[in-house]
């Protein structure tokens, strides 16, 4: 078996390749957030793919992570340059905070980023809102980030690695001010088809911002191609080379590459075998009154791209079509609320609650509920317990850049059992084609796939899960970071 990348090998590799450079990571969200709890200050670490992959790198070589300081005690914990050393238990790199007013956050984050760019990049029911003052705030905030980065770079050899769609103008701003700096960005959401992107009134500014990058990464080849076509048809002076996947404007080149993000496979697989997870499974079975019932699980950030209402409708159809499963199968839907300031997100929550209630009223009896909903952030032990105890995990996004839940579920199943129902429209479907691939819009077909999953012979389940596990084991989160570094060092 090929040796997979791990934290240790990634750190060694980063040290060997990047030590001569000032390494700067930029993201909207900070890796550590400080908040008051009474008179005490509490520090919380952000969990997620990006911190898992980039914190070992930046800790190994040192550097600066620039992010929006959003905690109420963030200002109280930085020095006069808005910096503090982190991780708190073993300080290795500087977190530099950028300050934004409440109005800027409303217009740049909840506004342009999440009501214009987010729906623009996802082919879903919600359409983008293009508001001039939100766009102005987006430009201003990108400039604030640029200034913070440029203060650090000055005349040093620097590599700047930007995260996501909140900062589309930042690469252009850095490159124009300091052409010697190497700039890369990873776009965590899909890039839409050219025709869909054309409705954006500021499409040229956004593309020119992104073309400030030397390297621009997406999850899939399809997103890369969509981006190349969008540039080709929008920016008259661009030269697009599809074969090499690069764009040139006035001699400045941007490479476009797929880097499918992933999870810490070994860590999740190990955690799934822990005593804590076994105890958590027992607790959940007792508390949720599951005894030996088949369990289906879905875990999502509460977002309209995740296709939760249609999934619940399919579960309702499934019980109508297969009444023999009544009393024997329970679906657990875990959602963590997000962007609750945006009306479409609030409405979604109400819609989900009403659908779950309706299914329970229609099909439930005695103390058996067909659907159990859990709302709020849940500890990893509970998530891993849910993935470990379930017969099937349903990921039915209408459109999703990657979807980490699909890979987390696979990583948790060290027993090689369990079935993944995975939307064809999630980036993860490209790698995990041994899942039962579904069309999340076809509610009857999704109901039929649930039945197929529950009836699937054990040997077939094992075969499919083993293949998926070998893919996620190899293409893990450390490989994601190593592949980006490898590409970056070719450019410097
Ligand atoms: P998201 O849209 O947030 O990410 P996803 O990739 O599914 O989507 O990641 C969500 C993360 O939140 C997972 O790690 C999951 O375990 C966690 N989570 C979900 N519910 C939770 C709960 N109740 N409690 C605690 N944790 C919970 C965006 C893109 C994706 C892309 C990622 C990474 O939309 O397509 O995969 O970035 O690039």
Q: Please write down the HEC assignment for all residues of 241-285.
A: ECCCCEEEECCEEEEEEECCCCCCHHHHHHHHCCHHHHHHHHHHH
pLDDT for res 51? 85
As a whole-number percent, the residues of the chain with pLDDT over 90 amount to 96
As a whole-number percent, the residues of the chain with pLDDT over 70 amount to 100
Q: Pick the atom of ligand 1 nearest to 376's CA.
A: 23
pLDDT for res 46? 85
Distance between CA atoms of residues 409 and 331, nearest Å: 15
Residue 269 neighbours by CB under 8 Å, 6+ apart = 411, 412, 414
Q: Pick the atom of ligand 1 nearest to 408's CA.
A: 16
Q: Pick the atom of ligand 1 nearest to 299's CA.
A: 20
Measure Cα distances from 32 to 41, 42, 55, 164, 413 in Å: 12, 10, 11, 18, 30
Q: Pick the atom of ligand 1 nearest to 428's CA.
A: 36
pLDDT for res 3? 82
Q: How far away, in angstroms, is 49 Cα from ligand 1 center?
A: 9
Q: How confident is the model at residue 191 (pLDDT cuts 50, 70, 90)?
A: very high
pLDDT for res 82? 98
Q: Pick the atom of ligand 1 nearest to 47's CA.
A: 14
Mutate to test the pocket of ligand 1, among 311, 403, 430 (most ligand atoms within 8 A of CB): 403
Q: How far away, in angstroms, is 126 Cα from ligand 1 center?
A: 19
Q: How far away, in angstroms, is 33 Cα from ligand 1 center?
A: 19
Select from 390, 385, 384 the least CA-distant residue to 419: 390
> Across the chain, how many H-helices and E-strands are there?
19, 18
Q: How far away, in angstroms, is 406 Cα from ligand 1 center?
A: 10
Q: What H or E segment, with its residue span, contains residue 45? A: strand 40-45
Q: Please give the average per-residue pLDDT across 346-361, as a whole number.
A: 96
Mutate to test the pocket of ligand 1, among 222, 260, 405, 481 (most ligand atoms within 8 A of CB): 405
Q: Pick the atom of ligand 1 nearest to 406's CA.
A: 7
pLDDT for res 1? 64
pLDDT tens string 192-237: 999 999 999 999 999 999 999 999 999 999 999 999 999 999 999 9
Mutate to test the pocket of ligand 1, among 265, 404, 428 (most ligand atoms within 8 A of CB): 404
What is the chain's mean pLDDT, rounded?
96
| Contact (CB, 8 A) for 297 and 392 | yes
Asked whether the predicted pLDDT for residue 2 surpasses 90, the reply is: no
Q: How far away, in angstroms, is 467 Cα from ligand 1 center?
A: 23
Q: How far away, in angstroms, is 405 Cα from ligand 1 center?
A: 6
pLDDT for res 198? 97
Atom 12 (ligand 1): residue with closest C-alpha?
A: 301
Q: Pick the atom of ligand 1 nearest to 306's CA.
A: 2
pLDDT tens string 106-133: 999 999 999 999 999 999 999 999 999 9
Q: Are strands 239-241 and 158-163 parallel, antiparallel or unpaired?
A: unpaired
| Contact (CB, 8 A) for 261 and 49 | yes
Atom 16 (ligand 1): residue with closest C-alpha?
A: 405
Q: How far away, in angstroms, is 337 Cα from ligand 1 center?
A: 11
Asked whether the predicted pLDDT for residue 418 surpasses 90, the reply is: yes
- Burial profile 54-70: b = 16 or more Cβ within 10 angstroms, e = fewer: bbbbbbbbebbbbbbbb
Q: How far away, in angstroms, is 403 Cα from ligand 1 center?
A: 6
Residue 273 neighbours by CB under 8 Å, 6+ apart = 414
Q: How far away, in angstroms, is 234 Cα from ligand 1 center?
A: 32
Residue 160 has phi, psi (to 5 degrees) of: -110, 125
Q: Please give the average per-residue pLDDT across 83-92, as a whole number.
A: 96
pLDDT tens string 377-404: 999 999 999 999 999 999 999 999 999 9
Q: How far away, in angstroms, is 118 Cα from ligand 1 center?
A: 15
Better-predicted residue by pLDDT, 265 or 492 = 265
Asked whether the predicted pLDDT for residue 48 surpasses 70, the reply is: yes
Q: Which residues line ligand 1 (CB under 6 A)?
A: 48-49, 188-189, 261, 299-301, 334, 336, 377-378, 383, 400-405, 408
Q: How far away, in angstroms, is 231 Cα from ligand 1 center?
A: 29
């Amino acid at each position: 078996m090929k040796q997979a990348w791990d934290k240790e090998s990634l750190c060694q590799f980063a040290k060997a390749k990047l030590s001569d450079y000032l390494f700067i990571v930029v993201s909207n969200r900070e890796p550590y957030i400080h908040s008051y709890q009474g008179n005490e200050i509490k520090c919380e670490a952000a969990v997620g793919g990006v911190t898992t992959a980039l914190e070992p790198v930046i800790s190994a070589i040192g550097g600066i992570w620039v992010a929006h300081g959003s905690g109420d005690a963030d200002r109280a914990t930085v020095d006069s340059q808005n910096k503090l050393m982190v991780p708190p238990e073993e300080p290795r790199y500087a977190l530099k905070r950028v300050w934004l007013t409440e109005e800027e956050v409303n217009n740049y984050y909840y506004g342009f980023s999440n009501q214009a760019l987010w729906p623009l990049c996802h082919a879903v029911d919600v359409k983008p809102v293009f508001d001039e003052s939100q766009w102005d705030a987006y430009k201003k905030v990108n400039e604030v980030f640029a200034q913070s980065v440029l203060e650090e770079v000055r005349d040093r050899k620097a590599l700047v690695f930007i995260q996501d769609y909140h900062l589309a103008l930042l690469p252009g701003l850095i490159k124009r001010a300091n052409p010697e700096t190497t700039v890369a960005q990873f776009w965590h959401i899909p890039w839409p088809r050219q025709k869909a992107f054309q409705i954006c009134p500021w499409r040229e500014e956004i593309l020119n911002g992104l073309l400030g990058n030397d390297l621009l990464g997406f999850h899939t080849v399809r997103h890369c191609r969509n981006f190349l076509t969008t540039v080709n048809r929008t920016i008259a002076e661009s030269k697009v080379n599809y074969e090499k996947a690069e764009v040139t404007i006035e001699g400045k080149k941007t490479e476009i590459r797929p880097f499918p993000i992933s999870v810490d496979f070994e860590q999740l697989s190990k955690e799934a075998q822990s005593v804590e997870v076994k105890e958590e499974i027992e607790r959940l079975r007792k508390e949720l009154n599951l005894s030996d019932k088949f369990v289906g699980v879905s875990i999502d950030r509460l977002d309209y791209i995740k296709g939760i209402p249609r999934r619940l409708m399919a579960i309702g159809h499934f019980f109508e079509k297969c009444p023999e499963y009544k009393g024997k199968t329970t679906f657990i839907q875990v959602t963590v609320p997000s962007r609750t300031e945006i009306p479409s997100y609030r409405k979604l929550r109400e819609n989900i609650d009403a659908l779950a209630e309706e299914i329970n009223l229609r099909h439930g009896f005695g103390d058996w509920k067909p659907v159990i909903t859990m709302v709020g952030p849940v500890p990893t032990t509970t998530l891993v317990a849910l993935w470990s105890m379930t017969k099937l995990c349903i990921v039915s996004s209408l459109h999703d850049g990657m979807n980490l839940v699909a890979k987390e579920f696979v990583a948790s199943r060290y027993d090689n059992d369990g079935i993944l129902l995975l939307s064809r429209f999630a980036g993860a479907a490209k790698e995990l084609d041994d899942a039962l691939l579904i069309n999340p819009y076809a509610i009857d077909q999704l109901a039929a796939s649930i039945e197929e999953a529950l009836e699937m012979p054990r040997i077939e389940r094992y075969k499919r899960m083993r293949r998926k596990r070998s893919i996620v084991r190899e293409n893990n989160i450390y490989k994601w970071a190593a592949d980006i570094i490898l590409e970056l060092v070719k450019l410097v």
